[in-house]
Structure 1
Amino acid sequence: MKIIAESGSTKTDWRCIGETSKSFNTVGLNPYFVSSDEVYMAIKDSFASLGNEEITEVHFYGTGITDESKADIIKNGIRKVLKNRTEIFTYSDIIASARALFGNYEGLACILGTGSNSCYWDGQMNSFQIPPLGFWLGDEGSGGHLGKTLILDYLHKNLSEELNAKFISKYGTIDRLEILNQAYSQPKPNKYFASFAPFLLENKEDYQCQKLIIQSFDEFFAKYVLKYPNQSPIGFVGSIAHHFGDILTQVAASHNLIISKIVEKPIDALVEFHQE
């Protein structure tokens, strides 16, 4: 049996390829925010339910896998469950996106989910990348960036009277100290701020919301996409790219670019890739 996993900061999708096909979900396993023991605790029950078929390979794609030390956090957590010589391969989320979008063909792969990322995929590897800087220094165009920008407008009292009333109706009055606590003292601030992105989706026809979304996407294109020497074909992966696809397509067109493909979840395409 092969196990394929694709993890964001919010959720991990798992697929099993063997005598029978199985799937399950766990929490997101970003090694910047979880330990090997936490990986073990998150997956042990699901792995125990798979039965006795031998697991020969695990291919884990995830956000936060930026070097060997981060990869080892994931590997050690999985090994603690399997307790055998199963081969465990880890890849960054951008490799997941590139393989899901283009397989063995070249293209510019972009992620707009809880976070954001991009790379030029030559069909075999990430051959060129404008480096992402994470939630606090980057993640333009992502759910985290959209939510953070919305919250800043709320705190600075920049929202229109109508939009502010809608915000309070949905979330209640949020105290500044509560937001500061979530931002600086709690784990996964990107996930917290991304939780406000649905408000923008629900109100994307509102001029102020639409302007915020366009500006966030435009920053992603300006800081990343437009700096790549080869910009076609361009594909996007992630919930934000999927749900805001119409606005994202408009922003791309404003830069004379065409998006060839948008995939909400790369896991199904990754399963096909590993079955070839």
Structure 2
Amino acid sequence: MHSIPGSTHDGGADVIGLDIGGTKTHGIRLHRGAAVSETVSGSANVQNVSVEAARQSLAEVFAALGSEGIGRVIAGSGGVDTRQDADALRALIAEHVPGAAVDVIHDTRLILAAGEASEGIAVIAGTGSVAWGITGSGRQARSGGWGYLLGDEGSGYWLGREAVRHTLRRSNLELVPDSLSTALLRECGAETPESLIGLFHGPTDRRYWAGKAGLVFEAAQEGNPAATAIVAEAAGHLAGLILDVAGLLEIPGPVVIGGGLGMHQPMLQDLLRDTLSAAGLRDIRFLATDPVFGVAYLLAAGSAGSGFAGSGSTGSGSAGSGNVR
């Protein structure tokens, strides 16, 4: 567990931190700056799951961490692009901790805090993709994070989809499946490349295809040229997001990269490091700890209340009523 000496809490009460991603909700309970309990449940991001599914996931998190003695909840989530988004998520959380202050921030801010940086560029390379940055003066910029229908290039979903497209293209050209295609067909239980079409448009979701990204990296490591090209293109897309933000804010970093791909795929890390270094960004940090622990850094730094998207206290009947998408 992570301990942050000297962090403070409202009235000495405990704090719960939440990292709400596209596939899971990761929660911790902090007591006097130390994480004393930790749990993982399903996604509570209402852009990916129904409101009821989100409510159930949050119920499981608070059942595991406890609701008594909580003075504050700090929740980082994707899909909080407007005050209405933040209010809607805050309302769902407040059901479990009436009277506690509930702060909602974009999950990229947890990435930056987990990298022990108060300014710089935060990147999520996971199921989706986005880059967000903030300067010492508080100026902010963002690139991407529009969701899989509009963007998320370089993400796990994007990689999985590109593997499907590659497999179908080879079939159209009457070429035998290569190592990437063979691995994908086997993993999906598909007898033919064409059967992937119905599977893709039918019972699966973006999390299912993001889960196939590892096949692309494995094939690339084995020398498959198509997989290598897909990984390189993914790195190019992610680097583009980062450089957009760096250019807008005119800062050299640090760049803190999180998300499942950003944290666990060395090939992607090497490509990003090389590309960004060549562009003059040399302080590149790949998270070694989960983003939710950035909550402890925010508290210790005394910055947990600044720059929040729709932050505020919620008690009984004061949670707000924004529309949940």
TM-score, with normalisation over the residues of structure 1?
Answer: 0.86
Work out whether residues 140 and 216 of structure 1, in 8 Å CA contact, stay in contact via their aligned partners in 2: yes
Q: CA deviation at 1:274?
A: 2.2
The percent of aligned pairs where both chains have the same amino acid is: 19
Q: Which has the higher helix share?
A: 1
Q: Hey, what's the Cα distance between the residues in 2 that align with 1:42 and 1:220?
A: 30
Query: Do structure 1's residue 267 and structure 2's residue 292 form an aligned pair?
Result: yes
What corresponds to 1:72 in structure 2? 87
C-alpha change, 1:113 and 1:36, in structure 2 (3 Å) is: same
Q: Which amino acid aligns with 2:107?
A: D
Q: CA deviation at 1:233?
A: 2.5
Moved more, 132-141 or 225-234: 225-234
Work out whether residues 103 and 123 of structure 1, in 8 Å CA contact, stay in contact via their aligned partners in 2: no
What corresponds to 2:207 in structure 1? 191
Q: Which amino acid aligns with 1:168?
A: L
Query: Do structure 1's residue 219 and structure 2's residue 237 form an aligned pair?
Result: yes
Q: Hey, what's the Cα distance between the residues in 2 that align with 1:56 and 1:254?
A: 43
SS of 2:154's equivalent in the other structure is coil
C-alpha change, 1:164 and 1:48, in structure 2 (3 Å) is: closer
Unaligned runs of 5+ in 1: none
Matches within 5 A, 1:1-276: 1-18=14-31, 21-50=36-65, 53-82=68-97, 84-104=98-118, 106-123=119-136, 125=138, 127-157=140-170, 160-173=177-190, 174-182=195-203, 189-205=205-221, 206=223, 207-222=225-240, 224-227=241-244, 228-229=246-247, 230-254=251-275, 256-257=278-279, 258=282, 260-263=284-287, 265-276=290-301
C-alpha change, 1:215 and 1:250, in structure 2 (3 Å) is: same
Q: Hey, what's the Cα distance between the residues in 1 that align with 2:38 and 2:299?
A: 15
Q: Hey, what's the Cα distance between the residues in 1 that align with 2:17 and 2:68?
A: 15
- Residues matched between the structures, number: 268
SS of 1:120's equivalent in the other structure is strand
SS of 1:30's equivalent in the other structure is coil
Work out whether residues 123 and 256 of structure 2, in 8 Å CA contact, stay in contact via their aligned partners in 1: yes
C-alpha change, 1:4 and 1:126, in structure 2 (3 Å) is: farther
Work out whether residues 59 and 89 of structure 1, in 8 Å CA contact, stay in contact via their aligned partners in 2: yes
Unaligned runs of 5+ in 2: 1-13, 302-325
Q: CA deviation at 1:119?
A: 1.6
Q: Hey, what's the Cα distance between the residues in 2 that align with 1:213 and 1:52?
A: 43
* CA root-mean-square deviation: 2.5
Q: CA deviation at 1:25?
A: 0.9
Q: Which of structures 1 and 2 has the bigger CA Rg? A: 2
Work out whether residues 125 and 238 of structure 2, in 8 Å CA contact, stay in contact via their aligned partners in 1: no
Q: CA deviation at 1:50?
A: 4.2
